[in-house]
Structure 1
């Protein structure tokens, strides 16, 4: 008999009322305090003397225990289950001064609420079935979106587009597992039965669709995390000038003296909708200067964590022994580009060229000539393909998809040992289901929702 697909193992939600300031810290015209739990109409009456109608804003005076007015604002009530968390939700829209909001929050705690843990509102929405895990992660991705493209992609994930793709794959995988499990009771006919049911064709189509989803998820991962690029090279080759040119601002100090940059200088800009995190580093050279040595050590640590490295060389001298020594020490997996800077000082045009299998860009950070070539090459080497149907994805999602793909490939290798074939399909299903939370360990939930500030 075919095994039933895994269902979401969700504990009963905690019914204690939680409260938090839902708006960002700082002065503003309006600040919001959100509560979630049960019996919140009584809570509203104790706080304001009023019981608002569902989803209707009313003007109310928020009072302290002695009846004095803390503030006047709007009061909204969202009955369960038609709320963000699936529980009763109460919102206080008050003036945005931090002292006022802290006083209101303290009053809510006096009435029996407790401070919400990081991510607890969204976690309750997940536990109550209002969002799956991928959608819950999209909430923080939308809040943290650094570009318009990333924001639109996060909205698509929040609306469930990514989840629908994953669930469609799960349905196909469950159907395939059902076929395989059904044949285990007929050992003399199992392979013929699977061929008649086109089980192997189903598996091939499943792998193709999974490959397409993985490719889109990789693009979404770039939108979520951005691209970390380290500018490295000898002192005085123009790293700081290149950072300033890419950012369009004077982020780093530029002087004719070598060794000006002794610590990391960071800048973030948009590159075709991708957050590009550029790190200017200390020049790599032998030195007796203790401060400069610390900067060089930090440079190498940053290189280890980078997605790509841009090695700058002076166009007047080209790649020498010092540059080759730097290239030899780079991690093997690291995407690398060599940039010949200062073409404004030599008779050389801006261009992209390949030399000994390596990509080289000739440009001038001072004049900006050739900068667009570098931008386009960075996008190319990381595999970026602009599209309007992307969704935000995380490293966790990519790993789950990669594990699913590996189990399906292993399943193919196990034929005609049908029991092992069936086991790999089961493991593939578990890996894929973890994306939306149909099979997710509690410690993973803690890690995910712990990244929220409050919501």
Structure 2
């Protein structure tokens, strides 16, 4: 895609399927002649024109609106033509094909009207907006996040990122970092000067302030990334502890089959739920036990695979069997394996289920280390939802929260590591200024990767390939 980014492109810009309106979008340099050949007339910039869209024999394919946006005052920064027709798949495909045909029509000067016009690849319109300095990389990603937003909180946060709220915070950090680099490199360039530039300019104080600002931005970015990415929560435990019932209760729908028969769940069942706008990817797994059934053994193996990749595990216990020696021993064995398979930073929340009938048990453990609930009747579910938000690290949504991605968090963390190295160098009696300058340069490099100032072509390809075609 990067190698052909100067070719004119065309695509259907609306979602597949039937709808009231569908849009075909063309972007490229100098589209005026193409527009005239396609529509039989010139268009006034940024004005809607109602007219027929004709085929090669002059017969209307459809009637609709045509809008022309001359560059650089357009979405991509190039000339952009939008044809708004009825939203039938066949109609839009005919318009798309017509655009490609007209592009190869020979103009009076003997050349094609629009050479090299081709179908756009995923995200290519937005990629051109990025290359033409209409938006930065963080804003480009926010466009995809706004389209994919599944909650009102996520949509508003993506809109703030698109408007440049996140980019502005990165810009403030970058400007402060550039100023600090200037001081250090000036000292390197003029070592014979008697004035200690770094001490006079309070370089240590500036760096300390910059680290504090970075920490605040990182905290908000982590919240924004959580809002977008969510966390993976796996429900684990012995058969018939109520795992499927708990998934159904959290999802508010009958997703998993629930029966009194042990081993009913043979494979994972996954559902994404929203709690205060935060997505949680909850996975119900097969009951953990020794089994001679080959299918069940495969399901149990898959359960352990999911557990090993979890961000949090809900270890479900059955209160009605809590005093049975065999049950307690099996729970202890599961706990031992969990401790072996899970990284130390992955929390395990103990859930004691069947509170509604627990009074029939001869002994009920004090569940001080977990939560008691009834997945069947909903008792204790609100407390569980709140605990899941705490595990995820979610705080009440701050005003002005912007959406972010895991790569943004990683870039800010890398920036912080280099600033910490720079801080350590400045605290020495005779700082190695060349090393200090390099740490600051690397910090700026990671910061610039967020907005696209320093970004590899490979990363750009990965980012934009996840967009829908026509955007």
Q: Please give the TM-score of this superposition, normalised by the length of structure 2.
A: 0.89
Residue matched to 2:108: none
Q: 1:377 to 1:77 in 2, by over 3 A?
A: same
CA contact (8 A) 1:22 1:33 kept: yes
In the alignment, structure 1 residue 368 sits paired with structure 2 residue 383? no
Residue matched to 1:427: 442
CA contact (8 A) 1:229 1:309 kept: yes
* Higher Cα radius of gyration: 2
- 1:39 shift after superposition: 3.0
Matches within 5 A, 1:11-50: 14-50=5-41
Task: Give me the whole-angstrom Cα distance separating, in 2, the residues matched to 1:185 and 1:49.
Answer: 63
Task: Give me the whole-angstrom Cα distance separating, in 2, the residues matched to 1:372 and 1:361.
Answer: 11
Bigger mean CA offset, 183-192 vs 80-89: 183-192
- 1:311 shift after superposition: 1.0
Q: Tell me the alpha carbon deviations over residues 207-226 of structure 1, each in whole angstroms, 9 at most, x when there is no partner.
A: 00000000001001111112
Residue matched to 1:412: 423
Task: Give me the whole-angstrom Cα distance separating, in 1, the residues matched to 2:5 and 2:462.
Answer: 19
Aligned length: 438
Task: Give me the whole-angstrom Cα distance separating, in 1, the residues matched to 2:310 and 2:24.
Answer: 39
CA contact (8 A) 2:356 2:377 kept: yes
Q: 1:304 to 1:109 in 2, by over 3 A?
A: farther
In the alignment, structure 1 residue 338 sits paired with structure 2 residue 338? no
Residue matched to 1:208: 212
- 1:188 shift after superposition: 7.0
Task: Give me the whole-angstrom Cα distance separating, in 2, the residues matched to 1:272 and 1:303.
Answer: 25
| Long gaps (5+) in structure 2 | 104-116, 323-327, 361-365
Q: Please give the TM-score of this superposition, normalised by the length of structure 1.
A: 0.92
Q: Tell me the alpha carbon deviations over residues 248-281 of structure 1, each in whole angstroms, 9 at most, x when there is no partner.
A: 1111111111111111111122101111221111
CA contact (8 A) 1:13 1:124 kept: no
Residue matched to 2:402: 391
Residue matched to 2:73: 82
Aligned-partner SS, 1:347: helix
Task: Give me the whole-angstrom Cα distance separating, in 2, the residues matched to 1:226 and 1:324.
Answer: 25
The alignment's C-alpha RMSD in Å is 1.9
CA contact (8 A) 2:130 2:140 kept: yes
- 1:187 shift after superposition: 4.3
CA contact (8 A) 2:352 2:367 kept: no
Residue matched to 1:442: 457
- 1:155 shift after superposition: 0.4
CA contact (8 A) 2:314 2:351 kept: yes
Q: Tell me the alpha carbon deviations over residues 187-241 of structure 1, each in whole angstroms, 9 at most, x when there is no partner.
A: 4778943222111000000000000000001001111112221111111111110
In the alignment, structure 1 residue 176 sits paired with structure 2 residue 180? yes
Q: 2:62 is matched with which residue: 71, 85, 89?
A: 71
